[in-house]
Structure 1
Amino acid sequence: MRYRLLPASDLNVSVLCLGTMTFGEQNTEAEGHAQLDRALAAGVNFIDTAEMYPVPAKAETQGATERIVGSWLARQPRDSVVLASKVAGPQRGMAWMRGGPQFTAEQIVAACEASLTRLRTDYLDLYQLHWPARHVPMFGETYFDPSREPDMVPSVYEQLEALDQLVRAGKVRHVGLSNETPWGVMEFLRVARENNLPRPVTIQNVCNLLHRGFEHGLTEVCHREQVALLAYSPLAFGLLTAKYQDDAASDGRMTRFPGFGARYAKPYVQAAIADYAALARANGLTPAQLALAWLNSRWYMGSVIIGATTMAQLEENLGSLAVTITPELDAAIEAIHARSPNPAL
């Protein structure tokens, strides 16, 4: 396993992070524990979860993922794991969570304390705002629309002040953002700097062969400001494994939950997947290994968040660590990208 010290922090994390959003929905507690054990044995020391998991989010399962991670964490040396979680922001249809999640100071603190209880730990190494309180295009949307701004948006200062309470109390070591924009990252950094509040050290955004939007502005911001990317959805909800092209009825989120993954239902996605899969197989790789190895070869990468529902999938993901993206292979990937740039953006 390779490790990276995330800039502006003391977090030394494995280049693969185990995502857990299937635990409690597609995976049982025993299966979740087996994945965590195998990942830890392979050298993965970075675990990511969230208060709203598993997905799809619903009242009857909310928090189950953290409870599963917590029952596993209780038998581990706490300092052997870098543990990250996320607080849910404003979202319609989630009144069952805190009466409708908001990024008020009171809600952020309460959400963190509830996560700590479920996770059976006294502190989080990284606590992230799951998505912005203001309107931004995300989860399949493309364009910013100021007319969709909510009536009440907690200020960046209020959000950071709440996170500061948690840091000063020893409940959070570092803070991060997720699904953010260049403006959002810069604004959080400005307010943190001017008010001596915790600065975000990470950003968890979608990044994969079908969606390279992070490269359109956030790479420069994060490089110059020392904010590390934690790439989620590296396999595009499993689409980049090509399993749905091999078998349209293959089990996974795209078949279990109709309408899930809107960004991957766009017109040119399937052709790009076929091209990347053909390239992988021509080089003796699985499509998943090509996609993961490419991400981890990017100069701007902090850690890649993998997710699996079976042990075989987890082993395949871990196998990507042995793959080298040669200059020739990188050029072939870029040729496909030039023909079909960001089809899921």
Structure 2
Amino acid sequence: MKYTKLPHTDIEVSKICLGTMTWGNQNTEAEGHEQMDYALEQGINFFDTAELYPIPAHPDRKSDTEKIIGTWFKKTGNRDKVVLASKIAGKAEFTKFIRTTGFQRESIIEAVEGSLQRLQTDYIDLYQLHWPERNTNFFGKRGYKVDITDHWEDNFHQVLETLRDLVREGKIRHIGISNETPWGTMRYLEESKVHATLPRAITVQNPYSLLNRIFEIGMSEISMREQIGLLAYSPLGFGVLSGKYLGDRMPEGSRLALFPNYNRYIKPEAIKATQKYYELAQANDLSLAQMSLAFVNSRPFLTSNIIGATTMKQLKENIASINMELSDEILEQIDAIHEEIPNPAP
């Protein structure tokens, strides 16, 4: 395994992070425990979860993923071996069953307390805002579209004040943001620069893959210059970059077969790009999944690559990508495909 440090800290994390959003829906508790056992054996010490998981969110499975991690901590006593990240759900129609969502002080405190209880731990190493409260950066859109119905009021300072108090209480150690834009990222960073007592966001968890490199537009420069590390999620585009959906296939039990509304990665241009990446991988005797993950692993702004799997075979292949180094020639060919079909799955 390879390791990096969470920016502005001495906390060392594996460059592969274990994602958990299928546990409690596509995966059972026993399967989640098996994945954590194997990941730890392979040197992965960084787990990412959220109060919203499993996905898709549903009242009958409310926060079950955190509960599965909590029972594993209790069973194994491995809490001190894991750097644990979780998230508070933002305001949305599909999160109303969780609690009064949004980033008001009482909501953040309630969310943290709930996560601590389910995770059976006294602290969370990295606590993240799952997505902005304001209307921006939606899936399927490549840029910001003005929404005159958005009545959000600037509350960056108040949010950071609440998180600061939770840090002082020892309930969270550091904070991060997720699904953020360049403007939102800089606003959080500037608040903590101007007001020294406020905690600094050290990571941003955004989608990043061969099919979605929008992070490179604006966010990558912020990441490098401000040292706010990318936690890349959906690096295989919901499994599309494994190649299993090529040729109009829809494997039984796959995520997109179960949840067809998550279709942004199988739209025509995305499939066209995936076919080209598949042919490139085949020409170089590489697994498409491992080539796709190795590309993400190679980015200079990456802190950790969040992989997810529903089978142990997938998990083993994904973790093994850390050992793959892509040649300059392959990277150039990847960029050529990206120039031809840029960001087909925003």
Structure 1 length-normalised TM: 0.96
* Matching residue of 1:198: 199
* Matching residue of 2:314: 313
Offset at 1:247? 6.4
Superposed, 1:171-250 pairs within 5 Å as: 171-195=171-195, 196-245=197-246, 248-250=249-251
- Give the conservation status (yes or no) of the 8 Å contact 1:125–1:174: yes
- Give the conservation status (yes or no) of the 8 Å contact 1:51–1:86: yes
Secondary structure in 2 aligned to 1:305? strand
Offset at 1:231? 0.1
Number of aligned residue pairs:
343
- Give the conservation status (yes or no) of the 8 Å contact 1:130–1:177: yes
- Give the conservation status (yes or no) of the 8 Å contact 1:103–1:154: no
Seq. identity, %: 49
Offset at 1:10? 2.3
2:3 and 2:284 map into 1 onto residues whose CA distance is 26
Which stretch of structure 1 is more off in the superposition, 68-77 or 115-124? Answer: 68-77
* Matching residue of 1:297: 298
* Matching residue of 2:257: 255
* Matching residue of 1:136: 136
Letter in structure 1 aligned against 2:219:
L
* Matching residue of 2:169: 169
Offset at 1:149? 5.1
2:142 and 2:3 map into 1 onto residues whose CA distance is 33
Secondary structure in 2 aligned to 1:183? helix
- Give the conservation status (yes or no) of the 8 Å contact 1:204–1:231: yes
* Matching residue of 2:9: 9
Letter in structure 1 aligned against 2:137:
P
Deviations 1:70-114, CA, capped at 9 Å, x for gaps: 111222332210000000011023321114x11101100110110
Letter in structure 2 aligned against 1:189:
L
- Give the conservation status (yes or no) of the 8 Å contact 2:33–2:69: yes
1:163 and 1:64 map into 2 onto residues whose CA distance is 24
Offset at 1:154? 5.8
- Structure 1 gaps of 5+ residues are none
2:81 and 2:223 map into 1 onto residues whose CA distance is 27
1:48 and 1:76 map into 2 onto residues whose CA distance is 18
* Matching residue of 2:80: 79
What RMSD over aligned residues (CA atoms) do the two structures have, in Å?
A: 1.3
Deviations 1:140-192, CA, capped at 9 Å, x for gaps: 22332332553244601111111111101000000000000111111001112
- Give the conservation status (yes or no) of the 8 Å contact 2:156–2:191: yes
Letter in structure 1 aligned against 2:120:
R
Letter in structure 2 aligned against 1:27:
N
1:11 and 1:127 map into 2 onto residues whose CA distance is 14
Which stretch of structure 1 is more off in the superposition, 7-16 or 143-152? Answer: 143-152
Secondary structure in 1 aligned to 2:93? coil
Q: Tell whether 2:269 aligns with 1:268.
A: yes
Deviations 1:258-293, CA, capped at 9 Å, x for gaps: 2114x3244311110001111112212111000000
Offset at 1:246? 5.2
Secondary structure in 2 aligned to 1:277? helix
* Matching residue of 2:119: 119
1:230 and 1:266 map into 2 onto residues whose CA distance is 25
- Structure 2 gaps of 5+ residues are none
Offset at 1:217? 0.5
Q: Tell whether 2:65 aligns with 1:95.
A: no
* Matching residue of 1:66: 66
Which stretch of structure 1 is more off in the superposition, 297-306 or 318-327? Answer: 318-327
Secondary structure in 2 aligned to 1:127? strand
Offset at 1:336? 1.1
Letter in structure 1 aligned against 2:19:
G
Which stretch of structure 1 is more off in the superposition, 209-218 or 157-166? Answer: 157-166
